[in-house]
Structure formats: C-alpha cells, structure tokens
Structure 1
Amino acid sequence: MWTYLIHGEPTPGVARLLEGVGRALEARGFRYSPEAEAPNLVLNAITEENPKPYRRRAQATFVASVLELPRFPEEPIKELYPYLVRALSNVLLAYVPGEGAAFLTLELGHYREKEGEGFYERVAERLMPIACSRLVIDNIFVPDLEPELWEGDELTESMYRAGRKLKEWDLLPAPFPIEEILPPEDLRHVKRLYGIGGLSYGNLSVRKDERRFWMSASGVDKANLKVIGRDILMVKDYDPEKNAILLSVPPHVEPRRVSVDAIEHWMIYREHPGVGAILHVHAWMEGVPATPFNYPCGTYELAQAVAEKVREAPDPTRAVVGLKNHGLTITGRSLDEILERIEGKLVRTVPMS
C-alpha cells in the first residue's frame, strides 16, 4: 500500500486543498501515515517567505510542495522554479483559491488544473505517477574502461558535434544554478541523497557495441562534451538487484554521474539492436505519439513508457516519442542522422496539458 503524509504549516486555503486531495488519494489506495519513515508521497506546505523543505530519508519518497498565491504568475518557470528547488521538491503546486493549481516539475513541465467539480480528484491523478514511480539514479563506477578509450573515439566526437549543433539551435536550456539557490546544508543533503550537484536539461547517447553505449553526464554543459568520465560516460549495464547503472570509467578521472535517463536509453538499446543513437531534447514535433503520464525523469516507469512507444513505432530505429509535458526522445542510426532528420522540424515550446 502506498503512504502519504502532510508536512509544514498550511495556510487555510492550502489546508482545504490538502484535505480534499488527501481524500482523493485515499480513494486510490493511499493511506495517510504521518509517522512514516519513508512515505511514497509528502504533501509539503510552504510559504513564499519560508519554502521549508521536507528532508527525505529515502530516494523512494517524492515531494509535492504546495504554495498558496494570490494570482498565477505570468512567467511560471522564472517565478516559481526557485521555490521548487529551495523546497527540495519533485513538483510544485501553486494554488490560487477559487481558480485552481499550477503544476511545475523539475523537468520544466508546467500545466494547470482549474478549480471546480472533480478538482481534488484531478490533482490526485496528476500526483499518482510521481508518487508511484521508482527512481533508477544510483551509479556504480568500475575503473575498467579500455585505455584506448580514455580520450574518447569517433563516437564521442559525434556527441561533441551534436551538442554544439543543439546549442546553435538554442535547444539547450542553461543548467540551473542549484548551488546558488540552495543553502550549503540543503545542497549537501541533495548530494548525499541523489548524488547530484547540478541540474541540466537534455541528453544524448551513442551505441558502442552490443551491450555498451556512451552517454552524456548529468549536470554538465551539453554543448561542450569532451572529457571521458566527466562529460561523457560509458554505460555497461543495469543491475536490477542494486537498481543501479553500471559504468566503465578511466581510473585517473573522478567521474560524474551519468544522465538520469540512462535507464531509458539502456532499455531501448537492449531491445532494438538497430538503434545506434538516442537524443532527448526539451522541444516538440507536431503529431508525435506521447507517453500518457508526466513521469519524473530517472524513473523506471518513464523508461518503460518511452520504450513502449518506441516499440510501437513503424520503425523503432527512427522513432520520435513525446514525453508528456516534457520533451522528445528520438532514436536513429547515428546522432548525425537524427539531427539531419529533425532539422527545421522542432518546436521549442513543449505543449502542456
């Protein structure tokens, strides 16, 4: 059974919202458990003056922070994203009593639910995919990368070229300066729990052989992918027992973590031997099939949803899959081939629903 709890000191408006959403969650199989050590979902009431975080004890806990506002901001990402980060949240609900709630995710997704009949149920449905997902973000570094690959190869060079091209197309949002937003204590907590030191958007990978693939690291500038082990990593496998990504790294480099979407790329490469490269961007193309839910990045459920859409494509080696309220995952024979296919076809604004 899934569990949830309420944290913080809600304003009267937020208290009514959380009471209604709580009833809707319980009707869907959740149990209110205020003493739970590792609840599936925390509804964290914050204020503009004090966006106090809930300090998770486990990666499996997802946090939805709830903030009451007098009006919806005109630029939700610019105005609300700092609150999401300061409160160490997976998603932020900005609630305007009488009007509804605006959702904002770490992946820059943002969408609204109008208040009215069925409002609490719709909010609960939005939270379910987040609360019931399983993160696959642990990395196991093995210093066994072949010496001849320590400086990269023609495949990593293609990743560098692709990153430069994405920058030319203005498709690489700047890494969010998490270290400038979080106080040192909270930043240390995030690093301990998730092993991350920054937020960046988009990723790319290329197949090396039957089992391995190169992939961009997490929190790095995708327009300057050069150093093996720091900017680009070799993914060798996924360990289901440890729920971790296995990586081959040079012994002389302190490695960065691989992109959180590594489990998604791993699934696609294993199922489709003809796929030679995968690109993920925060952009859109008209008429593409999309995943049904806004699963968080780095979750097994998002990887499964994307892999299913790739499987259903007329040609899985040339698929374009929409990630709801998020962006695109695109497969191809090579990164050069992918970029040639999509040039001039991308819409920078992802539709939100």
Structure 2
Amino acid sequence: MNTFTINGEPANSFTQWLTEGIKQTFSSKDFIYMPSPEENVKLVFHLTDNENPRPFRRHSQATFVVSIIVADEYPADIHKEAYPYLIRTLANHLMYVVHTKEETEIYFLTPEQGRYSITFASGQSDEDTFGKIYERLEPLALSRLVINNDYYEDLPEPLWEGDEVTGSLRDSGKKLDSLNLLPAPFPLEEVLTERDIRHLNKLYGIGGLSYGNLSARKDGSNFWMSASGIDKSNMNEVGKDFLYISGYDDEKKSMKVSIPPKIKPKRASVDAIEHWMIYREHPDVGAIVHIHAWMDGVEATQFNYPCGTIELAENVAELVSKSPDPGRTVIGLKNHGLTITGRDLNDIFDRIEGKIIPQVPMH
C-alpha cells in the first residue's frame, strides 16, 4: 500500500495551494493520504521553516521524506543555500520553491548533490504543474533501499592486511584525488546537532557523507570496495577503508561483508548492491569506478533513483548488459554521475583520461 502524508502547516496561501495540489494529485494516483504521520508511511512531504528547519524523524528506512522550502527570491547559489536544508531536515529529497509574481521555479535536490528544476509560468494549469511534480517524485518515492550490512568475521587471514587488489584501490583513490574527482565530504557536524547525527547513524548507519566509490573483483562475484564516508584519497585499513563484499541477502535486503576478527568495521558504500549485480552478471568486469562527473555521448538512466536502491542498481546493470562491451562501458546516472566498468582499474583510468566533464548536466 502506497501511503503519504503532509507534515506541518502551510505558512501562507501559496503553500496552502501547493500542498493541496500535491495532496489531490498523489491521491488520484493510487497513493492513500494519511491525515497524520503513521509509523510506516511511505512518503512524507515535510513543510520546513526557512528560519528554523527541523527534521522529520522517520521511524523506518522505507519512509521517503521530501522537505519543502518556499522562498520569494532566487538564491545567489542554489546548491550552497539549499543543500544544507536537505541535510538539516534529514530528507531524501528537497523541493526548494521560488515563487514570484511572474513564475514559480521548483529546484529538486538530492543527497548525491544532484539538482534539476521545473519552471511554471503564472497562469499555467494546476493539472500540468502537479502532474510534473508527481512525474519527478513517484519513481523515487517507491524505490527500495539496500543499505544494511551483515558482517562476518570470516575473512581469510592472508587478506587481513590487504592484497594486490586493495593496493590497486589505494592507488586509484589517490588518482581520483589528483584528477579532482573526489568532492570534499559534506561536513554534517556543521549543520546537524549531535542528536540528529546519532539519529541518522541509528537509522541508516551514516556517520559521514562522501561521494564516489571504486571497487575491484577478487574472485567469483566477491570484490573489494571502498567503504562509506571515508577519504578515498587515503585508504589503508581492511575493514575500515577497504571492505570485502562476499554476497547479498535478498530476503534481508542486506549486503554481506567479510571482515577480520575483533574490528569495528565501517559500512559498505550504498552503491555496493549495484556493483554486486554488475560483477555477478558480467565475469569480464574486473573493476568499477563511480564518480560525480560526466562524459559526452553516454547512455543514461531514465530516472535519478537514489543511491543504494534496487531500482538504481537494476537500471544501471541493465544498461551495462545492453552496451556493446559490458566489460568496458560507461553508464550515466541521471543528474548524478557515472558508473564505469573495466578489465581492471588501470583500464578504466586509461580510457577516461582527458574525457571527463566535471559538471554533471541536470535535466
């Protein structure tokens, strides 16, 4: 059952119109409106106070939160001014709405730093306006997260200090940094209280927010991958910087991670499910790199599904399968970045050298 609610009270007549239009449109599209937030509600539109933004404290990982900010003038830098609202409200998505007499522009921002916008001229039909909002959000709101980890202290002792594969990951992380392809991790502690950081860590296991990742196959469908929330230009320790992904539990929707004994591990990257699907289906793929950048002429996903969702993983894996050479291809993630496969990490860097566009196009 697809349920949704609107949390908070409209501050003015425009916000009243906006929320009522959202309510009517989603109710007409097989979503069931819940007058008050239930524990397992699927989608929450969270009206946010510009001066005092507070999080909607979801109880379930499956709850998709869209925070809404309404402003009456355009920001000088939309990302710099709006992105902190996304983080402060612990949202999956942010609608930053700029409403003027002439037009209304809605910026949609994602935790992966994706951004795109829709502009509506004054007098445009409500049906068209809210239809486009629904079209943007529905695929994302119904996507399914795979971000849990099951740890097993069964990593073979010869791998406790790493191997030639982790060595290649270490070198490649430094190479990403030298190419300026590692955006600085977002400083959560600057915009969140200690209580909110604890809540975020409890619900999602997130202790930091960094971007991009890389992996390399060890054997079969097992692979080494950079951990979540780390400085990928300085990876050294097995279980903390390098994680050995040994499988996926479909019933629990959890990644299996093998670690040395008596170590407090970092979490696997949210993209581990995507990498696992690709390695499982394509034996000729030896390495995968994900970056927040772009290349001309790449095949791209239709929707900007959130990282760590089955839908994104399946979409990317399907495009890899359809490419002329799945073992050496570049797939675009809409409003997000690139997933690149190769025989090994050196093969990937040799092929993309001089072709990377730092700015991801937004649509």
Which TM bucket (shorter chain)? Answer: over 0.9
Match in the other structure for 2:73? 71
Superposition pairs of residues 266-285 of structure 1, within 5 angstroms? 266-285=276-295
Q: Distance in 2 between matches of 1:112 and 1:64?
A: 15
Q: Which digits, 9 at most, give the CA deviation of each residue in 1:192-238, with x for residues without a partner?
A: 10011010000000000002100010000111111110011000000
Query: What residue number does 1:34 align with?
Result: 35
Q: Any idea what SS the aligned residue of 1:280 has?
A: strand
> Does the 8 Å contact 1:72/1:102 carry over to 2?
no
Unaligned runs of 5+ in 2: none
For the residue of structure 2 that corresponds to 1:192, the secondary structure is helix
How far is 1:326 from its partner? 0.2
Specify the code of the residue in structure 2 equivalent to 1:335. L
Is it true that 1:102 corresponds to 2:107 in the alignment? yes
Distance (Å, rounded) in 2 between the aligned partners of 1:7 and 1:134: 22
Shift of residue 80, structure 1, vs aligned partner: 0.9
Q: What pairs up with 1:127-276 in 2 under 5 angstroms? A: 127-276=137-286
C-alpha separation in 2, matches of 1:14 and 1:169: 44
Does structure 1 residue 328 correspond to structure 2 residue 328?
no
Q: Distance in 2 between matches of 1:181 and 1:217?
A: 23
Cα RMSD after superposing both structures: 1.0
AA paired with 1:15?
Q
Identity %: 54
Hey, what's the Cα distance between the residues in 2 that align with 1:82 and 1:160?
A: 31
Amino acid at match of 2:114: G
The one-letter code sitting in structure 2 at the alignment partner of 1:154 is: E
The number of aligned residues is: 353
Task: Decide which of 69, 84, 102 is 1:82's aligned counterpart.
Answer: 84
What's 1:307 paired with? 317
1:14–1:95 CA contact under 8 A, matched in 2: no
CA distance in 2, matches of 1:185, 1:61: 20
TM superposition shift of 1:283: 0.3
In structure 2, how many angstroms separate the alpha carbons of the residues matched to 1:169 and 1:110?
23
Distance 2:32 2:171 in 1: 50
Task: Give the 3-state SS of the residue equivalent to 2:224 in structure 1.
Answer: strand
Q: How far apart are residue 180 of structure 1 and its match?
A: 2.4
Residue 119 in structure 1 maps to residue 120 in structure 2: no
Q: Bigger CA drift: 325-334 or 117-126?
A: 117-126
Segments of structure 1 that go 5 or more residues without pairing to the other structure are none
Q: Determine helix, strand or coil for the equivalent of 2:219.
A: coil
**Distance between the aligned counterparts of 1:42 and 1:344, measured in 2?**
43
The AA in structure 2 aligned to 1:303 is A
* Distance of 1:349 and 1:81 partners within structure 2: 17
